Each structure stands twice: as C-alpha cells, then as structure tokens.
Amino acid sequence: MTIERVSFIGLGIMGTPMAENLVRAGFSVTVWNRSEHRTRPLADIGARIAASPAEAATASEVTVTCVTDSPDVVAVALGEDGIIHGAPEGSIYIDCSTIAPAVARDVAARMAEKGVAMLDAPVSGGDVGARAGTLAIMVGGDPDVFERARPVLQAMGRTIVHVGPSGAGQVVKLCNQVAGGLNLLAMAEAVSLARRAGVDPLKMLEVVSAGAAGSWMLSNLAPRAVAGDFSPGFMVELMQKDIRLVLETAGETGTPLPGTALVNQLFRMLEARGRGSEGTQAIVEVLRLLAED
C-alpha cells in the first residue's frame, strides 16, 4: 500500500519541524494540536487543520503523534475524540513521544483491537535533527508494519532502526537518555574545570571535541552553554520526565544506574531555582553553583 496521507498530532519544538518535513516530502498532511495557533505555520505550507485527533486520523493512512508524556499519548490516542475513534482499519499509528514502555504496549494492544497497527518510534537528535530531518528513530512493533511505514519515517529521520516488538522502541530511547544525560554531565564538568583552571573553555572544546572524548553534547551544546545561551532545544523539565521513566524502568528490572540518579539530582537543583524550562545545557550552571558554595 502506497502511503500518501499522513496526520501529525503534537506541534511542539520537535513536532512542528517533523510535520514540516512530511509536507516537504510530498505527503498530504493533516495536523492537530491542543493549542490551535501552533497549526498555522503548517497550514501556511499546505497542511490541513483537523478539529480533533479522531478527525485527523480519519483523513490518513498513517497518524503520527509527538506529545509530552504517557498521559498525553493515552489522551490523544484513546480518549474522547482520540485517534482510535477515527483511524481506519488497516491504518498505522506511529508514536514518536517518549513514554513508559508498558504504556506503549497497552496502547498498541488497544489499537490492535480496532485493526490499527502501532509502532512506538521515539526520536533522538533534538530540535536541530528535527529541522534537518536527520533524527535517529528507534522503532518497536511488527517488522512488516515497520517496513510499510518506512517512507514516513525516512521523511523525518536518517538513522531508522527496528529494535524489537512493541515497547522496545521506548526502552531504547530510555537507554539513549541514560547516555545523553551522562554526556551532559561530562560536558558540564569539562567546561567547569577549564574555567576554574584558567583555560578558555572554547579552546578546550575545540580540541577535545575532535578527539576520542568528542560527543554530540560537546559539539552542539557546550558552545551554547559557555556563551550563556540556555534557550531550549530540549528542556530540563522534559529531560527530567525522561529520567523519571528511566529510573522507573531501572527499578522494575533491578538495574543499578548510579550516574543517571546523580544527573536527576543535579537537574532537580535547576528546577528548584525555577529553571526547568531552560535547555539541558544549563547543567553547567549547577556545577558553577556547587563550586561557589
């Protein structure tokens, strides 16, 4: 089946550019967002605006969501006027949110009862990757459904990997957040040490980023942190939501994650100071505060 019509629900920092890339890839796109004003930039480039998630799903062979947390997915997928009430039998639901693996499996089971196949397909790459269409997408679900949906995923990402059955995509995304959180801490500690030892942190980053210790965080977020630019590509409070899911899953599986627990506590210091809406690179400010105490 050739996929021509795609609906997109959730037009935040990530969702808006992802939906824009679907339009540019030639799909007929219908959008819905809780805050209606966010749909207007998509309408300006040719997307249709739906009145509800159900109406959006009715219009398409594939419906994509990118919302904040597990309750939000349940609401737009299964709630009143949710996707489940409009998605045609044989269509595909792709959730690109980061949610609890168990919730992903539950929603997939409910969708299957209506003849709708679900893929949990969380993404990584931040707002930069979302705009460029270079996201890494980790996908759980039926492999045949994954292959059918591949053209839609390719419009939004570059590295697209089927990682297992329903819920597996979410598990891999949580692993991504473990590595990302610890890389953020490593970045912040390197910047902090350079500053306090009297070395220009930008010079330090220039050479360290090119060596064995280089990382996406060093190349992309560290220069912004050094410049005092804490505008969000990914907000502290959203990273904390993901870390909560990580630690819940770690508890369920008996997995010790001491480094991730530390990152959680450091970000909590930012939240306590009302800085939860800043970008995750603001972790450098926590180490600055600790050094001053």
Which residue in 168, 169, 172 sits closest to 180, CA to CA? 172
Q: Is the dihedral of CA 239, 254, 187, 197 positive or negative?
A: positive
DSSP codes, 124-193:
ESHHHHHHHT-EEEEEES-HHHHHHHHHHHHTTEEEEEEEESTTHHHHHHHHHHHHHHHHHHHHHHHHHH
Measure the CA–CA gap between 120 and 168, rounded to whole angstroms. Answer: 8
Active site residue 173: yes
Residue in 68, 13, 65 with CA at minimum distance from that of residue 242:
68
User: Structure tokens of 3?
Assistant: 């996929």
User: Which of 280, 251, 276 is CA-nearest to residue 263?
Assistant: 280
User: Using CA atoms, how far apart are residues 48 and 185, in angstroms rounded to an integer?
Assistant: 42
| Catalytic entry in 114, 173, 203, 241 | 173
**String of DSSP letters for 37-50:** GGGHHHHHTTPEEP
Q: Which residues pair with 235 in a beta bridge?
A: 279
SS3 string, 87-112, reads CCCCCEEEECCCCCHHHHHHHHHHHH
Task: Return the active site residues.
Answer: 173
